[in-house]
């Protein structure tokens, strides 16, 4: 299990300074987003990380999230954007792109008694994931579906919701990202959920229940990391959170040390 940080969280004024800080503090991977590198700056992304001491391991999000919109042009735009980021991630040697397929309520009309909106969304999402999975496979990465919580998304909330799509999709390059913050809201038992879906987990996001850095709240990261170790997860766990306190750099360093201690304990067993 390896610790990573999102680019915007890393101290430093420039990308190079952030890369050096990450290296000096034992960070093993960096996650970027379309906010950091819009589509018209993907060439700059590749140049910025060509000789980075810490690699880009994932791209989080997409410029638009219209994958399940009733407008076919909007759907196609989101799909083509995702394909561009999957290609860039492959060029960087990363794990893949993280995609919540929708935010908020359904946009597709309910066609009951034939099929309700959620049924239609799931069937559409399976087809879209197969197409994106093919592109991910071409570039040696994963499309990673992200379940969110009930306040952000209606469709994929629990880990099993995403696994349902993954299993129906039957594509080796469509996988799951598990986010401790969202799981803390939606899963009755986070370690049990990890053990249930572990074979599909390609990536992990970290935040405490406060939505701040791990160690500031009541999430049991030791139990969660033990579950990840039990399912053989050896990938990246990337911070996606705010940082507490006036001295944010010190708070971040303290949190990294806290999680490294837990990783050492659970991997020694």
Confidence bin at 267 (pLDDT 50/70/90): confident
Q: At what angle do helices 117-138 and 72-91 cross, to 10 degrees?
A: 30
* Residue 124: how many other CB atoms lie within 10 Å: 17
Tokens for 148?
Answer: 């969110």
With beta carbons less than 8 A apart as the criterion, state whether 6 and 240 touch: yes
- pLDDT per position as a tens digit, 118-146: 999 999 999 999 999 999 999 999 999 99
Q: Percentage of the chain with pLDDT > 70?
A: 100
Number of domains in the chain: 1
pLDDT at position 269, please? Answer: 67
pTM of the model: 0.95
Q: Percentage of the chain with pLDDT > 90?
A: 97
pLDDT at position 65, please? Answer: 97
Q: What is the mean pLDDT of residues 180-189?
A: 96
Mean pLDDT of all residues belonging to the chain: 96
pLDDT at position 268, please? Answer: 80
Domain that holds residue 121: 2-268
With beta carbons less than 8 A apart as the criterion, state whether 59 and 88 touch: yes
Name the residue among 127, 34, 129, 130 with its Cα closest to residue 89: 34
- pLDDT per position as a tens digit, 58-71: 999 999 999 999 99
Compute the residue count for the chain: 269
Which sign, positive or negative, has the C-alpha torsion 227, 229, 233, 238? positive
Is pLDDT above 80 for 222?
A: yes
**CATH number for position 178:** 3.20.20.150
pLDDT at position 13, please? Answer: 96
pLDDT at position 223, please? Answer: 96
Strand ranges for the chain from DSSP E:
2-6, 29-32, 56-60, 96-99, 142-145, 174-179, 201-206, 236-239
């Amino acid at each position: 299990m390896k610790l990573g940080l999102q680019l915007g969280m890393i101290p430093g004024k420039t990308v190079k300074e952030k890369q050096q800080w990450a290296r000096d503090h034992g960070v093993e991977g960096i996650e970027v987003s379309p906010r950091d590198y819009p589509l018209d700056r993907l060439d700059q992304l590749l140049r910025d990380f060509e000789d980075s001491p810490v690699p880009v391991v994932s791209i989080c999000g997409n410029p638009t999230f219209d994958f399940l919109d009733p407008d076919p042009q909007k759907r196609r735009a989101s799909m083509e954007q995702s394909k561009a980021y999957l290609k860039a991630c492959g060029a960087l040697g990363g794990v893949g792109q993280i995609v919540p397929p929708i935010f908020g309520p359904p946009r597709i009309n309910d066609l009951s008694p034939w099929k309700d909106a959620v049924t239609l969304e799931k069937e559409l999402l399976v087809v879209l994931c197969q197409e994106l999975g093919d592109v991910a496979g071409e570039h040696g990465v994963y499309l990673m579906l992200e379940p969110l919580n009930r306040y952000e998304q209606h469709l994929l909330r629990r880990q099993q919701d995403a696994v349902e799509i993954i299993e129906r999709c039957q594509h080796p390059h469509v996988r799951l990202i598990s986010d401790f913050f969202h799981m803390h809201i939606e899963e009755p038992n986070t370690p049990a959920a990890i053990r249930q879906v572990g074979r599909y987990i390609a990536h992990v996001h970290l935040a405490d229940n406060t939505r701040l850095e791990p160690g500031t709240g009541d999430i049991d990261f030791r139990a969660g990391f033990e579950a990840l170790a039990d399912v053989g997860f050896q990938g990246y766990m990337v911070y996606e959170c705010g940082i507490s306190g006036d001295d944010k750099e010190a708070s971040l360093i303290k949190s990294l040390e806290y999680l490294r201690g837990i990783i050492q304990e659970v991997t020694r067993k």
